[in-house]
Structure 1
Amino acid sequence: MTAHTPSAVSTDPVAVAVRSIHAMADGDRAAFTPLYRPDAVDHENPVQPPSSRVPGADGFYATALWLRGAFAELRYDIHHALADGDLVAVSATMNGRHTAPIAFHTDDGSVDSVFPPTGRTFAMTQSHWFRMQDGRIVEHWANRDDLGTARQLGWIPPSPAYLFRMARAKRRALRATGPRGPASGR
């Protein structure tokens, strides 16, 4: 096993994985291309918008835009990162402020639920697993503390007023995108 060190070169699998996590918070589209193979798969995107369900850098960048669209001040603190063969594991905390609605989707891409902004901050612990091939990411999995984050943001237990705001936000999202997402994603 190899632990991440600050002196790691840019093709080091741990450095690539860590850069990919930081890119979610602030990387532009060009920053994603050298990190992901064109056939890279994100196994964590079934609840994300259809635009993020495509392989390669385009899908991962769409995920970043989805997160940034809802969470201001987005940043990741990396706690541990190590590699074993072609697998890299990263323990991190995602931090941000919920400033805009975030929509979650069903398997077919339709809007499932929308959480209107609460203005609250959160710190979500996560572990990410990457499989590397040819110095780039080819697969990604994650475990996140979604329940803890939902509590921090006031999504659960929901107040009657917040349930009303959720229903109103979902109606707006459905009117804006249709039941299956933006017209370009249908």
Structure 2
Amino acid sequence: MARGFGEVGELAVRSMEIMAAGEPADFEAVVHPRAVNREGVAEPMACRGLGPAAFYATALWLRRAFADLAWDVHAVVTEGDTAVVHATMSGRQVGPFVSYDPEGGVAQAFPATGKTFAITQTHWLRVADGKVIEHWANRDDLGMSMQLGWNPPTPAYLLRMHRATKQARKAEAA
């Protein structure tokens, strides 16, 4: 569906939309085989690779933690092969959100709270050969953590985080 963002802008927006509900074929159609997600450093190892499979792994990682994922696009600016998308990401936490350390181990797990969030983000996407080849973002992670009740944590939530982190590390080791 054309929204007047131009070819590069439309591709950038589509690459974000498929994170919520896209299948592998959707990622193959939009993501370049050599694409890199610069945000993958705090994600599972499968997300740190190149190409559609790594981007799909990021989508699955997000979907495990958040239901009702959506990106409400406010503005798209393009110049040459680059698009900048200003959007609000929203969802509801239904599973643990697990972050990873640089070596790929579980750094922290935030157990599900059932709460909703809506945070602004700016995504930068570069296109080559008609597909997204690079992504990086600026996100309001603190705002999300406050809306979801992670921060400031209550003593009970800290205990739940400790248990969730242990469970996530055990699951990764299996």
TM more than 0.5: yes
CA-CA distance at 1:66 after TM superposition: 0.4
Does 2:167 align with 1:167? no
Of Structure 1 and Structure 2, the greater helix share is in 2
Does 2:131 align with 1:132? no
Any idea what the Cα deviations from partners look like across 1:45-66, whole Å, max 9, x if unmatched? 1110111111001110000000
Counterpart-to-counterpart distance in 1, 2:79 and 2:150: 37
What is the aligned residue count?
173
User: Which structure 1 segments of 5+ residues have no match?
Assistant: none
Task: Please list, as runs of the form range in 1=range in 2, the aligned pairs for 1:65-80 lying within 5 A after superposition.
Answer: 65-80=60-75
Counterpart-to-counterpart distance in 2, 1:57 and 1:125: 25
Counterpart-to-counterpart distance in 1, 2:171 and 2:125: 35
CA-CA distance at 1:114 after TM superposition: 0.1
Q: TM-score, normalised by structure 2?
A: 0.96
Matched with 1:151 is 146
Does 2:46 align with 1:51? yes
Which of 3, 8, 26 is equivalent to 1:6? 3
SS of alignment partner, residue 68 of structure 1: helix
Q: Structure 1 residues 154, 8: CA separation in 2 closer, same or farther (over 3 Å shift)?
A: closer
Which of 103, 106, 110 is equivalent to 2:101? 106
CA-CA distance at 1:8 after TM superposition: 6.2
* 1:142 maps to amino acid: A
Please report the RMSD computed on the Cα atoms of aligned residues, expressed in angstroms: 1.2
CA-CA distance at 1:174 after TM superposition: 1.3
User: Which structure 2 segments of 5+ residues have no match?
Assistant: none
Alignment identity in percent? Answer: 48
